[in-house]
Chains A and B, each alone.
Chain A
Amino acid sequence: EILMTQSPGTLSVSPGERVTLSCRASQSISNKLAWYQQKRGQAPRLILYDISTRATGVPDRFSGSGSETEFTLTLSSLQSGDFAVYYCQQYLIWPITFGQGTRLEIK
């Protein structure tokens, strides 16, 4: 099983700021990395897949990068609707596994 580790656990940032979330895989996952946003009481929403491809309707202030085992999600110019929990996920090998999440909160 591939272990996904996200850091930090919580980030306190102000609207308008730029923020970077990290995700590390316990072994290489090629480009099979996705990011999800989850707001309280809602289902997760796909943000990025294949490391950096934005899902339908996702604004270009969301960007992803990385390779092999180290990945990042960058949100530029944070808006109020961006404050949520973000999960990374690998889908190279079953079982599909998720990181434990990074909570983005308003400072």
Chain B
Amino acid sequence: EVQLAESGGGLVQPGGSLRLSCGASGFTFSNYWISWVRQSPGKGLEWLANITPEGHEKQYVDSVRGRFTISRDNTNNFMYLQMSSLRAEDTAVYYCAREMPVIGGAFDLWGQGTTVTVSS
């Protein structure tokens, strides 16, 4: 089955760090750009970052640049989001999403999400 599955969410104190993982199966992971998208409680969707298939190029939204780092392991079909200096406003469900090839940033496959809560 073609799928993405996030893990690693949890409760963390303000200023703390957390690493999220996104595992892929059922498709050739190394052929795709992958993004992280989050959704704060009761709010809309916010794109955070993406990474090229080889992992050489990365883009970030301003709100997380310098605090979050995206990376990938194509050997084991995983992508990661290392989050540091976490703030209350980072509380959200975090999704990984696959970008359509050629088309670009339209996301045709999403994981089920993992919840991050930043609170003391």
Contact = CB atoms under 8 A, between A and B. Distances in A.
A98 B112 contact: no
A18 interface: no
Contact of B111 (A34, A36, A43): A43
Nearest to A43: B110
Where chain B touches its partner, the secondary structure class is strand
A100 B44 contact: yes
A55 interface: yes
A97 interface: yes
B82 to A, nearest CB: 19
Interface size class of chain B, counting residues whose CB lies under 8 Å from the partner chain: 20 to 34
A50 B103 contact: yes
Interface centre among B100, B105, B111 (most CB of A within 10 A): B105
Interface of A: 1, 32, 34, 36, 43-46, 49-50, 55-56, 87, 89, 91, 94-101
Interface centre among B100, B106, B112 (most CB of A within 10 A): B106
Given A43-B95, A94-B59, 10 more contacts: A34-B107, A44-B107, A46-B108, A49-B108, A89-B107, A94-B50, A95-B62, A97-B47, A98-B47, A101-B45
